[in-house]
Structure 1
Amino acid sequence: MLPKFNRFTLLFSVNSFAAALLALYIGFALGLPRPYWAMATAYIVSQPLAGAVRSKAVYRVLGTMLGAAAAVALVPNLVNAPWLLSLALALWVGACLTISLLDRTPRSYVLMLAGYTAAIIGFPSVSQPGAVFDVAVWRVVEIGLGILCATLVHSLVFPQPVGTVLKQRLTTWLGEADRWALDVLRGQDAEAIARDRRHLAAAASEIQMLAVHLPFDTSRLRETTGVVRALHERMLLLIPLLSGLADRMEALREVQDDGVRGALNEVVAWIEAGGQRDAGLDLIERLKALAVARRGAAWSSLLLESLLVRLSDTVRALAEGHALMARLNDPDAPLSPHLDASTRAKGLNPMHADLPLALLSGGAAVIAILLSCAVWILSGWGDGAAAPVMAAVFCCFFAAMDDPVPAIKSFGIFSLAALPLSAIYMFAILPAIDGFPLLLAVMAPPLIFIGLYIPDPKRMGAALAVLIGFCNALALQETFSADFASFLNGNLGQFVGLLFAIVVTAALRSMGADASARRLLVRTWRGLSRLARARQAPEPAAFAAILVDRLGMLTPKLAEAGPRQDFVGVDALRDLRIGMNLVAVQAARPDLPPEGQDRVDAALDGVGEHFASLAAGRRHAPSPDLLTCIDAALRGLSIAPAASAVNGVSGLVGLRRNLFPEAPAFVPETAR
């Protein structure tokens, strides 16, 4: 299938080709032992966005230096014990891979690269341990050269800034949040609301990934990293807020209270007018006053109060989001002291991490490398070092996937597909030319054509496999020599490593979409159980970040898994709402009188037991006793004078609605 041919893809492919051949030319001029490593690195580092190229360049340099240092430390000291050296290098790769998988941002590239770089340098150096320092130094120089050339070309020749793309994503996201809020308040159909929710959850994680590259960007937006982070926090909070608002609207159907209906219409008009912050602050105060005025023990009053609390929180998050967006568009746009302080906070919000799965991935890499080493050592295969090297590379490249095997197979197949083309060039075309200009001319057609596929995420892996396989198989040197036996023997090791990576990964690490979805659900349920049993509230944005990240990961997995009995009744967004309701209740708890705290604690412990049971595989509806505990807590909070009780009541109402949607209306103490 032909690539998407447009100005952007053509510019990217030509830039990448120019960077790769520039690195190769400088490598020839400097007399580097493996200049083709610089050429391949230029392609690996190249990204459609200039900021991503620079961030990946920094991470790759750091990872290469760390991996080279590990190889220099291990090989000379263990070269006389090949099995021990193999074990040490395999454990290094496995440990680096495990740690890198705990950080799902581009920063993880540092440790992942440090792992397989040690293998790339260490295993081939076994035959010449005294030269390992020189090999490591040259590896760093060649990788650094490829990185430098890619960074310069993509930064200077019509660069594509990360800031421009990120700003577009943020603008689109905030517009979709406004539309979701309007759909909810206007009572639109469930399909439209679900569509809005899916878009926002998926985009939240994508925006955080892009934001990691922002400090390396050349656009003006680089100076507003703190504003982007603060805006992302409001995005994370808006997803459960809008979802909870939709739940309250569903519970109340057509709101009959004229005052509340008027407030809803005011919010709709405010959003349609652009969500200005000053007008939003006035609206928040009116909503809070209306919530206090509607306060009562009856279930309808509690629902109205909860609706108004959620509505005021939503207005605040939208207003702050629009104010931060205005600051992105205009550096002189004013911010309140509270918002300005939030832009100066350090660090990004946490993301989902799965330590057991990371350990399993690292263990699979260790076993695949050791099996490849066994074949190499026991057979006395002179060029067999390529097998453990490629086992390490394949296990690391695709470890973040649910089932890496198809991707490893695809990479291997496309690498294999590059060999006939490499053979034609090595034994037919290259011997017939002389000089770098002719080399440039004959290399341009295939490399530029294949490079057109890289900007397409669906085809990027296959394109890189062909490009890297082609460049490494040619192994271009300043002085050309073609040896068919060396060509065949050197590439055979690659497929031995590929075979062991596939076999071990399939046996130990691969999982389907259903198993992956189940792991995410269990992790979410365990987290909710711990939160319910805690006696202090976490920071809302940080807690929402993890749950929203899991929601974005879980939604496509549930869709791929299809209708299965063990997923009946599963609603990841409901779990997110429950989590934020738990945060609200925990935050209100310290200001309650002792009797109120005891009732709330009983309800929270019941919620914790329910989710612990779900995580343990005992699927059942919440216990009627839990409903009794929640109602008892509601009776205490609905008449409590403390101001914080308002949020506590809203949280308990949310727990009751989400855990017992079909339960009869709450009955206050006086009506029993």
Structure 2
Amino acid sequence: MLLTKHLFALRPSKSDWIFAIKTFFAGILALYIAFSLDLTYPVWSITTVFIIANPYAGMSASKSFFRVLGTSVGATVSILVTPLLIHTPWLFTLFLAVWVSGCLFVSLLDRTPRSYAFLLAGYTTVIISFTIINNVDTSSVFELALGRFIEICVGVVCSAIASLAILPMNFGPAVENQVSRIFKDTRNIFDKIFLDDDEVRTYNQSLNKITADIANLHTLAIHLSYERSKLKGMTRPVQEMLHQLSMLVANMVAMAEKIKQLDQINPLYRQQLPDIHAHIVTFLKSPEIQTSPELNILPDNFEQDFKRLFSHTTEEQQILVAGLKMDIRHFIQNFHAISLMWKRIQAGNFSLPEILLPLRVKSPHLHRDYAMATRGSISAFIVVMLSGAIWISSGWYSGYMMAEMAAVTACILTSMDNPVPALKMFMRGNIYAAIIVFIYLFGVLPQVTEYWQLAVVLAPAFIGCLLLYPHPPLTALGVPMMIGLTMGLGFHNHYQANLVSYFDASMAMIFGPAISIWVMRVVRSISPDMSAQRLLASHYKAVRKTLYIPYGEHFRIHLRAMLDRIGVLNSKSVQSPTLKNKINLAIIECSAIVDLARIQELIVLLPKNHAIVLNLEELTILMDDYLRAKEYKQDFEAYQIKLIEKIQQLNLATDAVQDLNISERLQISLINIRNSLCHVDQPNQMAS
């Protein structure tokens, strides 16, 4: 019903029609060239065009590059392995299952468009190898592998010609719009944190959305290297700017938490916040920063504003105000640094402001889900083995197509928590395509005698499917229908239509995904709630790890990975209110890890025999126990109580620290840990 609703609501725009028509033109051109070159399987040329099709030229080009790369690897493996194992079908199937599962495992860990190359290397080997086995009496291994590679390249070249030469739509402007929207959302949240009493209580939900946008944009930025917009080649600078923006999000969390804590003690201080906010906003809107040294400049009345704020706060609020002042200073510096980076990126400047240390995008700083990658690779292994066993045991002529489709569908959707609904839609698309193929094969194509006639009769069905591509709710139907149509029609230089072969091939196109659905449901599928629980466990483990990481580049990379994980967490459609609350609290917990590192720094600065040093070390052990209990879903309340009591003791013990700077910094960090990690609502509640 929902699909029907989206279909009836579809109103293709001008850009949709341009995309569909030029993609159809590229497919027809690829098929014509494949016919002219008398390639063995021209169908792969036109199918390649429709598989890599994307409204954005950069996305299409990057997918084309990685498809050629993956296909070349898969073809090479087929050429090397098939002659050795072709006479031992069970061993050959075992090798292919191991190869596909290994490639899929790496692909799932990559989390960038590069993963497509690993994906293709896996199932392309299966497609070429099984096709070779089915045609071993008429073709050589090298001939079929080389032919497949050429067929793919023809499709890729034609797709590139159409997407880059005919009214190209670049991804760069979309990136600019998304970055601008993130900047706007960030400024709005900053305004509300200072001026809206209600917003400061729920600000983390708004920031969670920003972390999800940053995580999504980071993986898409790689497409910028494959297009002609003014952001061409700016993948790494954009990703580095997103790193810094995620740090700004953590900084805003720390600010909001301090304001929330100040509100709980005595809200009268808020009378001074509008003036501070107005001066900061005016300063941020002033002429843009041009050089790195200017990043350290603060508003002229910054110190006077905070002196006035200090005079309107209670003694208990003094430490929190000092921490808020530090956080606002960092926010201003970070905001200007990010603005300068974005200005340089738009001007084609790759350089990073000298005041900032790059996180080096080659570092493994993004979240990687090894457990889900393992489950996905195991399910692919079982699918290939099971489909291969059915083919070997039954001797079904079209069984090779079933095994190929099973391998493909076992790989393409495994990044989802539960790929079963999407696989069902894939199979549904193949069923619809089989009906249309029957009409074409036995009703339309027998009347076609010229190539231009073929193009004309194919246009309605093909363009109709392509119009579904740009609309996410309908893409899951349009793509499998398009693949089913091209593969079902099985284009050759000579028309060959056989009713038995048609039903054979149609059944294979349906049974292959059915095998994947069954295996995925048993082995791979998990609910979004289960996925979120696993990510939360990884989050608590990462927080615990920061207890032992000194502040520096490695620490910042670790923090970036934590914020990226929160972005992934917020993409989950969880149903449990408890889980939703834990996800909302996760970003608050991230704001405290800088304080964990700061405590380790302060321990080094204090005299080794100082009594407070032993207490701080005991605090570290308690935090480790507390976070470990949360990670393993154990009873953490007892550890939480002990931890809060220890923080209370340390707050009193800071009076014995002679260095007032160290004492103040220590108190700020202890308060942040108490409220952000232990989630104490009232700063005084444990003292009583």
- TM norm structure 1: 0.91
Distance 1:623 1:316, change over 3 A: same
- Aligned residue number for residue 78 of structure 2: 71
Helix, strand or coil: the match of 1:454?
A: coil
Distance 1:287 1:656, change over 3 A: farther
The yes-or-no answer on 1:62 pairing with 2:69 is yes
Distance 1:355 1:286, change over 3 A: farther
Distance 1:276 1:4, change over 3 A: farther
Q: 1:629 aligns with which of 632, 646, 649?
A: 646
- Aligned residue number for residue 322 of structure 1: 339
Please list the CA deviations of residues 59-90 of structure 1 after superposition, one character each: whole Å capped at 9, or x if unmatched. Answer: 11111111111222221111111100000001
Distance 1:633 1:196, change over 3 A: same
- Aligned residue number for residue 152 of structure 2: 143
Please list the CA deviations of residues 270-317 of structure 1 after superposition, one character each: whole Å capped at 9, or x if unmatched. Answer: 245577578763327976899899799964222111111111111111
Residue 620 of structure 1, CA deviation = 3.4
- Aligned residue number for residue 519 of structure 1: 534
Residues 408 and 502, structure 1, Cα contact 8 Å, conserved in 2: yes
Residues 550 and 597, structure 2, Cα contact 8 Å, conserved in 1: no
Amino acid across the alignment from 1:338 = I
Residue 30 of structure 1, CA deviation = 0.7
Helix, strand or coil: the match of 1:77?
A: helix
- Aligned residue number for residue 50 of structure 1: 57
Alignment of 1:263-278 (within 5 A): 263-271=276-284, 273=286
Q: 2:596 aligns with which of 557, 578, 582?
A: 582
Distance 1:484 1:260, change over 3 A: closer
Quote the Cα distance in structure 1 between the aligned partners of 2:492 and 2:419: 34
- Aligned residue number for residue 3 of structure 2: none
Quote the Cα distance in structure 1 between the aligned partners of 2:75 and 2:551: 46
The yes-or-no answer on 1:337 pairing with 2:354 is yes
Amino acid across the alignment from 2:467 = L
Stretches of structure 1 that go unaligned for 5 or more consecutive residues are none
Residues 215 and 564, structure 2, Cα contact 8 Å, conserved in 1: yes
Residue 537 of structure 1, CA deviation = 5.6
Quote the Cα distance in structure 2 between the aligned partners of 1:461 and 1:287: 54
Residues 541 and 631, structure 2, Cα contact 8 Å, conserved in 1: yes
Residues 45 and 53, structure 1, Cα contact 8 Å, conserved in 2: yes
Alignment of 1:373-412 (within 5 A): 373-412=388-427
Residues 403 and 511, structure 1, Cα contact 8 Å, conserved in 2: yes
- Aligned residue number for residue 447 of structure 1: 462
Q: 2:439 aligns with which of 407, 413, 424?
A: 424
- Aligned residue number for residue 367 of structure 2: 352
Alignment of 1:2-41 (within 5 A): 2=8, 3-41=10-48
Residues 368 and 501, structure 1, Cα contact 8 Å, conserved in 2: yes
Quote the Cα distance in structure 1 between the aligned partners of 2:596 and 2:553: 10
Distance 1:242 1:568, change over 3 A: closer
Residue 119 of structure 1, CA deviation = 0.7
For this pair of structures, how many residues does the alignment match? 666
- Aligned residue number for residue 662 of structure 1: 681
- Aligned residue number for residue 172 of structure 2: 163
Distance 1:109 1:243, change over 3 A: same
Farther-moved stretch of structure 1 (378-387 vs 273-282): 273-282
Residues 209 and 570, structure 2, Cα contact 8 Å, conserved in 1: no
Residues 204 and 584, structure 2, Cα contact 8 Å, conserved in 1: no
Quote the Cα distance in structure 2 between the aligned partners of 1:623 and 1:449: 59
Q: 1:215 aligns with which of 213, 220, 225?
A: 225
Quote the Cα distance in structure 2 between the aligned partners of 1:116 and 1:611: 41
The yes-or-no answer on 1:83 pairing with 2:102 is no
Quote the Cα distance in structure 1 between the aligned partners of 2:652 and 2:314: 7
Farther-moved stretch of structure 1 (538-547 vs 483-492): 538-547
Q: 1:310 aligns with which of 322, 327, 348?
A: 327
Quote the Cα distance in structure 2 between the aligned partners of 1:494 and 1:464: 14
Quote the Cα distance in structure 1 between the aligned partners of 2:388 and 2:352: 60
Residue 52 of structure 1, CA deviation = 1.0
Distance 1:235 1:27, change over 3 A: same
Farther-moved stretch of structure 1 (92-101 vs 479-488): 479-488
Distance 1:103 1:597, change over 3 A: farther
Quote the Cα distance in structure 1 between the aligned partners of 2:484 and 2:580: 43
Quote the Cα distance in structure 1 between the aligned partners of 2:464 and 2:366: 37
Q: 2:570 aligns with which of 546, 549, 555?
A: 555
The yes-or-no answer on 1:256 pairing with 2:269 is yes
- Aligned residue number for residue 243 of structure 1: 253
Quote the Cα distance in structure 2 between the aligned partners of 1:78 and 1:519: 40
The yes-or-no answer on 1:607 pairing with 2:617 is no
Quote the Cα distance in structure 1 between the aligned partners of 2:556 and 2:300: 22
Amino acid across the alignment from 1:242 = M
Residues 75 and 149, structure 2, Cα contact 8 Å, conserved in 1: yes
Quote the Cα distance in structure 1 between the aligned partners of 2:351 and 2:557: 26
Residues 128 and 144, structure 2, Cα contact 8 Å, conserved in 1: yes
Residues 418 and 469, structure 1, Cα contact 8 Å, conserved in 2: yes
Identity, % of aligned pairs?
Answer: 24
The yes-or-no answer on 1:187 pairing with 2:188 is no
Helix, strand or coil: the match of 1:477?
A: coil
Stretches of structure 2 that go unaligned for 5 or more consecutive residues are 1-6
Alignment RMSD: 3.2
Helix, strand or coil: the match of 2:114?
A: helix
Residues 430 and 510, structure 2, Cα contact 8 Å, conserved in 1: no
- Aligned residue number for residue 300 of structure 1: 317
- Aligned residue number for residue 508 of structure 1: 523
Quote the Cα distance in structure 2 between the aligned partners of 1:589 and 1:497: 61
The yes-or-no answer on 1:114 pairing with 2:121 is yes
